[in-house]
């Protein structure tokens, strides 16, 4: 067994066309397939490899199980001038969430802010995609979603919450937008998967075993353990990570009528949703705030630039050039990969080739 990971690089456009073709083969209408592909490819471009085309076969398996509806009737089921609840009709979250964000932005356009809770949806890809939609209109974007239960609350041994991400996107002026896209667990599941593939120990504070003891076994989760909330343990504030994850769970699903806590339907198709669901599907929460609802947009952006430049020039620990501004690594990855292509690890390439064969779609050559 080798611990090395090898990469193959693909042309962005060709990988996008392949992804669209797979979604179309699932029966997703052309426009929705293009949007869903755009969300996945954006993740790969921004270096969030765990949420890009690596997940494509997962969506297909959910569709095969009848858990993803390729032609949903996405509709508003409750509304005020600045709030709404949307029923995603079991559609791809990759399609449902942008629809909801669009609705939030239209409300914000008229009234200053807009907030949409979503039920009956599925995995929505990277949170950043949806928040960043708001940037085009000089709005602050917010997106969050609950997810497959993998995280134990402080003092618990039970998987009650997902890695429930929160993303805020703030427009800036001469600097790229400041995008905070973060899981509310101590470690992202993607990082754990990398450690598993390399078969190396993980740091203390990422996962616990089935009894709630800290473990460095990268397979601890598979053996009945759970991920830990941001903060890792009580002494270091894991109750705050638990709070953050709970905020996401409540806004996404208790508010919308989705399923919450341990009932959130798992992304992996081999696990069925628990019986006696308290709601429908996965929930999201999306919001848009017009910057000029508070001060002129140019003024805000000038001060964002000042904020960024001051933080970039903060004194650093030895060996570190500068403080990393949230979103900076992702912006850099996007610039680079738009030029050089998208690198995929061989195990993902093999998985996609297998998927291509199964769905009778030609898999693109490497770049």
Please identify which residue in the block is written with the tokens 């699903």.
253
Among 8, 34, 194, 250, binds a second copy (CB under 8 A): 250
Burial of 158 (0-12, 13-18, 19+ CB in 10 A): middle
Does residue 170 bind a second copy (CB under 8 A)? yes
The stretch among 31-39, 50-58, 299-307, 348-356 that binds a second copy (CB under 8 A) is 299-307
Any residues with CB less than 8 A from the CB of 245 and at least 6 apart, and which?
151, 161, 162, 163, 164, 184, 185, 229, 230
Number of shown-chain residues binding a second copy (CB under 8 A): 88
Question: Pairing state of beta strands 113-121 and 83-87?
Answer: parallel
Among 316, 346, 362, 366, binds a second copy (CB under 8 A): 316
CB of 281 to a second copy, least distance (A): 15
Q: Closest Cα to residue 262, out of 189, 153, 186?
A: 153
Measured on CA atoms in the order 129, 178, 83, 265, is the torsion positive or negative? positive
Q: Name the residue nearer to a second copy (CB basis): 111 or 136.
A: 111
User: Which residues in 61-100 contact a second copy (CB under 8 A)?
Assistant: 78-85
Q: Closest Cα to residue 154, out of 242, 215, 247?
A: 242
Does residue 293 bind a second copy (CB under 8 A)? yes
The stretch among 64-72, 296-304, 339-347, 349-357 that binds a second copy (CB under 8 A) is 296-304
Q: Name the residue nearer to a second copy (CB basis): 124 or 170.
A: 170
Does residue 168 bind a second copy (CB under 8 A)? yes
Among 212, 217, 273, 367, binds a second copy (CB under 8 A): 212
Q: Name the residue nearer to a second copy (CB basis): 82 or 196.
A: 82
CB of 242 to a second copy, least distance (A): 7
Does residue 315 bind a second copy (CB under 8 A)? yes
Q: Which conformational region is residue 316 in: left (phi greater than 0), alpha (psi within -120 to 50 degrees), or beta? A: beta
């Amino acid at each position: 067994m080798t611990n090395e990971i090898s990469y193959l690089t693909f042309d962005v456009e060709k990988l996008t066309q392949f992804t669209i073709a797979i979604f179309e083969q699932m029966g997703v209408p052309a426009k929705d397939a293009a949007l869903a592909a755009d969300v996945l490819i954006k993740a790969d471009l921004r270096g969030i490899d765990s949420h890009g085309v690596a997940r494509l076969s997962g969506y297909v398996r959910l569709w095969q199980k009848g858990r993803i509806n390729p032609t949903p009737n996405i509709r508003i089921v409750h509304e005020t001038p600045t709030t709404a609840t949307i029923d995603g009709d079991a559609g791809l979250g990759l399609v449902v969430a942008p629809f909801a964000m669009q609705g939030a932005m239209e409300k914000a356009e008229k009234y200053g802010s807009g907030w949409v809770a979503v039920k009956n949806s599925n995995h929505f890809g990277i949170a950043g995609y949806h928040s960043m939609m708001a940037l085009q209109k000089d709005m602050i974007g917010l997106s969050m979603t609950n997810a497959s239960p993998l995280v134990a609350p402080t003092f618990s041994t039970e998987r009650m919450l997902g890695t429930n991400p929160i993303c805020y996107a703030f427009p800036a002026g001469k600097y790229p937008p400041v995008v905070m896209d973060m899981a509310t667990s101590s470690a992202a599941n993607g990082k754990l998967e990398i450690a598993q593939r390399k078969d190396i120990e993980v740091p203390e504070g990422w996962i616990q075993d089935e009894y709630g003891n800290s473990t460095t076994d990268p397979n601890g989760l598979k053996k009945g353990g759970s991920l830990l909330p941001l903060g890792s343990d009580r002494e270091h504030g894991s109750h705050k990570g638990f709070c953050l994850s709970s905020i996401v769970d409540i806004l996404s699903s208790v508010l919308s009528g989705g399923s919450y806590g341990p009932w959130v339907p798992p992304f992996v198709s081999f696990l069925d949703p628990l019986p006696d669901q308290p709601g429908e599907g996965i929930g999201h929460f999306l919001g848009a705030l017009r910057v000029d609802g508070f001060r002129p947009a140019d003024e805000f952006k000038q001060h964002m630039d000042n904020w960024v430049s001051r933080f970039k020039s903060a004194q650093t620990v030895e060996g570190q050039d500068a403080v990393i501004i949230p979103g900076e690594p992702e912006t850099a990855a996007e610039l680079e990969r738009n030029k050089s292509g998208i690198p995929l690890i061989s195990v993902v390439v093999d998985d996609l080739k297998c998927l291509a064969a199964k769905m009778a779609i030609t898999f693109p050559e490497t770049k």
